[in-house]
């Protein structure tokens, strides 16, 4: 039990209270004292070189779906599709999604042959749902636009 100066005696545990004769969490106290920019990993001896982090920008690419493969395995539930890019003839990329609405649009594009645009970012180390390696660039997508240009 701790004494809260404003509320009197309470049963709530004060996070800064002593536990077993020692401060509860020196890391938590240090985080509070350092403010919002404090890196808790540094307090544990973990050093991260932020200059080595590569943030992949979102892109919008256009093309035609040539294959859709769905997965319902423990490691991954979703699908990938191969897209022949319109603006780079001869280049095919793969897109991954676990969103059923996007999968439905990819399947429709495969069935109709209509042009799509997909929005997402390139994965530098993409998952391989059934093992192996990718021989094409892989994008995690969060949007599909299906066109009807007739």
Q: What is the DSSP string of 59-82?
A: EEEEEEEEEEEEEEETTEEEEEEE
pLDDT for the residue numbered 75: 84
- Range from 67-76, 92-101, 136-145 carrying the lowest mean pLDDT: 67-76
pLDDT for the residue numbered 120: 97
Q: Are 149 and 84 in contact (CB under 8 A)?
A: no
pLDDT for the residue numbered 48: 72
Domains delineated in the chain: 2-47 (no CATH), 58-146 (2.40.50.110)
pLDDT for the residue numbered 64: 98
Between CA 34 and CA 15 the distance in angstroms is 17
């Amino acid at each position: 039990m701790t004494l809260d100066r404003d509320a009197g005696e309470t049963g709530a545990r004060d996070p800064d209270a002593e536990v077993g004769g020692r401060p509860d969490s020196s890391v938590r106290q240090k985080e509070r004292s350092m403010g919002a920019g404090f890196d808790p990993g540094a307090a544990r001896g973990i050093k991260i070189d932020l200059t080595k982090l590569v943030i992949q920008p979102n892109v919008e690419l256009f093309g035609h779906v040539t294959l859709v493969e769905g997965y319902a395995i423990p490691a991954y539930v979703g699908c990938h599709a191969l897209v022949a890019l319109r603006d780079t003839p001869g280049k095919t990329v793969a897109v991954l999604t676990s969103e059923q609405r996007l999968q439905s649009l990819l399947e429709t594009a495969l069935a109709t042959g209509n042009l799509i645009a997909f929005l997402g970012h390139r994965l530098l180390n993409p998952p391989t749902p059934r093992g192996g390696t990718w021989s094409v660039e892989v994008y995690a997508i969060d949007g599909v636009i299906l066109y009807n240009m007739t």
